[in-house]
Amino acid sequence: MSFGEFEPTIMDNEAYGAAVDGVLADFEAATNAQERRAAVQRWDEMVRQTVSWESWVYIRFSQDTTDPVAKANKDKLDRVGPGWVALENKVKQALSQSEHRHEVEQWLGGHVFDIWAGDLAAFEPAIQEDMAQESKLVSEYMQLMGGMKIQFKGKDLNYAGLMKFREDPDRDVRYESNKLLWGWVAQHQAQFDRIFDDLVKLRHGMARKLGYDNYIPMGYHRMKRAGYDQHDVARFRDEIVAKAVPLVGKLRQVQSQRLGIEKLMAWDTSLYSPGGNPAPKGDAAWMSAQAQTMFEGLNGQMASFYKMMNDRGLLDLETRDGKSPGGFCTFMPDLAAPFIFANFNGTSNDVRVFTHEAGHAFQSWSCRDASIMDYVWPSYDGAEIHSMSLEFLTWPFMDLFFGDRADEFRWNHLAGGLTFMPYGAMGDHFQHEIYANPDASPAERHEMWKALEEKYIPGTNWGDIEVPAAGRRWLMIPHLFHTPFYFLDYVLAYTCALQFWVLSQSDLEGAMERYVEICRLGGKAPFPKIVQTAGMRSPFEAGCLDEIAAATERFLFPS
């Protein structure tokens, strides 16, 4: 079935509740392991149905945030979603406490009970209403961003359309486009601040209802983090400050020399090549065809996977008005297939986003027959290894997109990844401060961000562009609104992706074997175990960045 033909339906919460009670009654009444297993499988099929509907609604709404039907479905999802969480947790709790737990472990493995323990620690029926309110606020943020229309160069542009000019070779154009973007944010400042303030207060309130001092431990549970804690994360951030921040400083010097700019301003930082960063040499349809050739060269399974994605209409790549910004991949179990969403705007970032989301897509597809839905995806820290590593594993094929400028792309890609490390760590540090100080005012939050910039991205200069200069740049980071603490997962995963990059330079085939293996592992293991299976060093080991920082330095600044 193609995505266009897919019209999933969903039980109302009353029917779903009755069905869940039926499963639990059958599990209780069962007289043997086979019957108990059948009951759990029936429940898993219901979960897969809700996940399919949820993903479909999210895709449709993201494809057109102005479509009233899509919006009505999204509103419905926001309302009913927390009820599903309550019902799922009822089963998770019953199975966790069951005298037959050991028997279920023999079949599903023990890890699923660790996942469920985290889910149960982040939920009580008492917060169900708050969760519905939280989803509604996030939708409001998405609509605000999706509705962005800024006139520039005679066109009404959305976020992706405007971002294209961030790397324009003409410095005035870079400045003007930034000025317009942040002017738009200034116009909507009160709405951004109100949405975020409501989210922080709501999340703090939920954490208190669950018995936590603040949202941080609850946020970790919601991120399904296992095997490390806040202290490990803080040490990792310090490591980044020590190893990555000086390298970014060196990069900025090289960049300003290359561009012939004495004082690099914030609006110059996305441009690495003086004549303009290399862009893909064709439109979305052309890129999709090149991608097919790329996957055929890289891995047979990936090639057939990508052909399937194309044949079934599971890609929406080009930017359009009303489309939600950014890129993502989601999975529909009832289609046994993922969906890739992007906002191609003709820049090199299109290729980066594409290979990234294709990594997520290939991983979830590799786990489409997992014994339980919770094993289809790993937690985000693990999932981003699959996506970010594929960005690097596809390097040998970048000539297909950039022709004789592929080397420039590779250099820029690594440079961009390097600059993200301190930025991502900073976003994480910022969120710890936000949720440790839930009563801070919006103005105080902007001050917190500004203070952290000194540590993580020193020398950032926004000149007379007031909004980011006043510490409000983070308002354009959707993760801070929709999924607190997600931001660090990119940095954690990046340290592993760079290890894949290093390995692939001497042994691409071996790297791909390991890659496919952890894609198949999917959600069956927590982050530290995925890293171990990949044969990589953990980001929580002291000195974990030494080798990859040295390799990055050699590549970016050859002597």
379 binds Zn ion (CB under 5 A): no
Q: Which is nearer to Zn ion, 139 or 387 (CB)?
A: 387
Q: How many residues bind Zn ion (CB under 5 A)?
A: 1
Residue closest to Zn ion (Cβ): 387
Q: Which is nearer to Zn ion, 16 or 339 (CB)?
A: 339
Shortest separation between residue 401's beta carbon and Zn ion, angstroms: 20
364 binds Zn ion (CB under 5 A): no
Q: Which is nearer to Zn ion, 162 or 390 (CB)?
A: 390
Tell me if residue 463 falls in helix, strand or coil: coil
Shortest separation between residue 420's beta carbon and Zn ion, angstroms: 12
**Cα–Cα distance, 179 to 448 (Å, whole number):** 23
Looking at 146-154, 219-227, 387-395, 442-450, which segment touches Zn ion (CB under 5 A)? Answer: 387-395
**Cα–Cα distance, 432 to 214 (Å, whole number):** 10
**Cα–Cα distance, 99 to 110 (Å, whole number):** 15
Looking at 215-223, 284-292, 314-322, 385-393, which segment touches Zn ion (CB under 5 A)? Answer: 385-393
Looking at 150-158, 382-390, 465-473, 476-484, which segment touches Zn ion (CB under 5 A)? Answer: 382-390
Looking at 43-51, 220-228, 234-242, 384-392, which segment touches Zn ion (CB under 5 A)? Answer: 384-392
Tokens in use for 246?
Answer: 């000086």
Contact assessment for residue 220 and residue 485, using Cβ atoms and an 8 Å cutoff:
yes
Contact assessment for residue 135 and residue 198, using Cβ atoms and an 8 Å cutoff:
no
**Cα–Cα distance, 164 to 159 (Å, whole number):** 9
**Cα–Cα distance, 379 to 528 (Å, whole number):** 11
Which x/- pattern over 408-437 shows residues binding Zn ion (rule: CB under 5 A)?
Answer: ------------------------------
Q: What is the DSSP letter of 166?
A: G
Shortest separation between residue 65's beta carbon and Zn ion, angstroms: 21
Shortest separation between residue 396's beta carbon and Zn ion, angstroms: 22
Neighbours of 483 (CB within 10 A): 15
Shortest separation between residue 34's beta carbon and Zn ion, angstroms: 39
Q: Which is nearer to Zn ion, 10 or 329 (CB)?
A: 329
Span 459-488, contacts to Zn ion by CB under 5 A: none
Q: Which is nearer to Zn ion, 74 or 352 (CB)?
A: 352
Looking at 110-118, 293-301, 379-387, 436-444, which segment touches Zn ion (CB under 5 A)? Answer: 379-387
Shortest separation between residue 379's beta carbon and Zn ion, angstroms: 12
Contact assessment for residue 530 and residue 522, using Cβ atoms and an 8 Å cutoff:
no
Q: Which of 17, 30, 39 is nearest to 90 (CA)?
A: 17
Q: Are strands 337-344 and 315-318 parallel, antiparallel or unpaired?
A: parallel
Q: Which is nearer to Zn ion, 290 or 387 (CB)?
A: 387
Contact assessment for residue 113 and residue 101, using Cβ atoms and an 8 Å cutoff:
yes
Q: What is the CA radius of gyration of the chain?
A: 23
Tokens in use for 345?
Answer: 């705007």
**Cα–Cα distance, 271 to 15 (Å, whole number):** 55
Shortest separation between residue 531's beta carbon and Zn ion, angstroms: 17
**Cα–Cα distance, 274 to 255 (Å, whole number):** 9
Shortest separation between residue 387's beta carbon and Zn ion, angstroms: 4
**Cα–Cα distance, 504 to 464 (Å, whole number):** 44
Looking at 165-173, 212-220, 383-391, 481-489, which segment touches Zn ion (CB under 5 A)? Answer: 383-391
Q: Which is nearer to Zn ion, 295 or 380 (CB)?
A: 380
Span 14-53, contacts to Zn ion by CB under 5 A: none
Shortest separation between residue 338's beta carbon and Zn ion, angstroms: 12
355 binds Zn ion (CB under 5 A): no
Tokens in use for 19?
Answer: 């069905």
Looking at 117-125, 345-353, 380-388, 546-554, which segment touches Zn ion (CB under 5 A)? Answer: 380-388
**Cα–Cα distance, 241 to 341 (Å, whole number):** 33
Which ranges of 3-32 does DSSP label H, i.e. alpha helix?
13-29
Shortest separation between residue 168's beta carbon and Zn ion, angstroms: 27
Shortest separation between residue 192's beta carbon and Zn ion, angstroms: 24
Q: Which is nearer to Zn ion, 73 or 387 (CB)?
A: 387
For residue 337, list its beta bridge partners.
Answer: 332
Q: Which is nearer to Zn ion, 277 or 387 (CB)?
A: 387
Neighbours of 124 (CB within 10 A): 14
Which ranges of 328-470 does DSSP label H, i.e. alpha helix?
349-366, 380-393, 399-402, 406-436, 442-456, 466-469
Q: Which of 444, 419, 418 is nearest to 433 (CA)?
A: 444
* 290-296 contacts, C-beta under 8 A, 24 or more apart: 290/400, 290/401, 291/354, 291/358, 293/397, 293/400, 294/394, 294/397, 294/400
Tell me if residue 440 falls in helix, strand or coil: coil
Q: Which is nearer to Zn ion, 166 or 479 (CB)?
A: 479
Looking at 51-59, 173-181, 386-394, 431-439, which segment touches Zn ion (CB under 5 A)? Answer: 386-394
Q: Which of 376, 406, 404, 384 is nearest to 394 (CA)?
A: 406
Shortest separation between residue 110's beta carbon and Zn ion, angstroms: 27
Contact assessment for residue 467 and residue 511, using Cβ atoms and an 8 Å cutoff:
no
Shortest separation between residue 309's beta carbon and Zn ion, angstroms: 16
Q: Which is nearer to Zn ion, 243 or 356 (CB)?
A: 356
Which x/- pattern over 135-174 shows residues binding Zn ion (rule: CB under 5 A)?
Answer: ----------------------------------------
Q: Which is nearer to Zn ion, 468 or 484 (CB)?
A: 484
Q: Which is nearer to Zn ion, 115 or 358 (CB)?
A: 358
For residue 315, list its beta bridge partners.
Answer: 340
387 binds Zn ion (CB under 5 A): yes
Which ranges of 109-214 does DSSP label H, i.e. alpha helix?
111-121, 128-146, 159-163, 171-187, 189-209
Q: Which is nearer to Zn ion, 56 or 380 (CB)?
A: 380
> Which residues make up the interface to Zn ion (CB under 5 A)?
387
